[in-house]
């Protein structure tokens, strides 16, 4: 029981001392106008960083991520072929690829893949 109380006391003391030290260190940094201003190769920024971007580009990037992750899912499926039943493996792979193709067809029909409108 003494060991538990002693380790709880040591961990509490260590945590509190670290929090106090971090608070003291963070107060010493001075936030002035020059340090808080954006820095772009030594010059003032020419335009706002909040410029709008194309939503189509965002959708294509999301589609790329989705298909990239699905390829990463398909790699272990290929490796498990020799350890599983062939018929069951073919059914799983066919369902997976069919789901991918149906999703791509749905996105194509909704016009999400058209770059210029």
Task: Please report whether residue 67 resides in a domain.
Answer: yes
Range of the domain at 63: 55-109
How many domains are contained in the chain? 1
With beta carbons less than 8 A apart as the criterion, state whether 38 and 50 touch.
no
Neighbouring CB atoms inside 10 A of 66's CB total 14
Residue 9 has pLDDT above 60, yes or no: yes
Per residue in 72-82, pLDDT (tens digit) is 888 888 788 77
**Cα dihedral across residues 83, 88, 90, 94: positive or negative:** negative
Does 84 fall in a domain? yes
pLDDT recorded at residue 35: 63
Q: In whole angstroms, how far apart are CA 29 and each of 4, 19, 114? A: 38, 16, 50
> Could you tell me if residue 77 is inside a domain?
yes
| Residue 88: inside a domain | yes
pTM of the complete model: 0.46
50 within some domain:
no
């Amino acid at each position: 029981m003494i060991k538990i109380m002693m380790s709880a006391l040591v961990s509490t003391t260590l945590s509190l001392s670290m929090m106090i030290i971090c608070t003291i260190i963070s107060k010493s940094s001075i936030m002035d106008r020059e340090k808080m201003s954006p820095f772009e190769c030594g010059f003032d920024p020419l335009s706002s960083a909040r410029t709008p971007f194309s939503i189509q580009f965002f959708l294509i990037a999301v589609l790329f991520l989705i298909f990239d992750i699905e390829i990463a899912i398909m790699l272990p499926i290929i490796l498990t072929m020799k350890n599983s039943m062939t018929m069951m493996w073919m059914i799983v792979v066919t369902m997976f690829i069919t789901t991918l193709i149906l999703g791509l067809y749905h996105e194509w029909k909704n016009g999400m893949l058209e770059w210029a409108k």
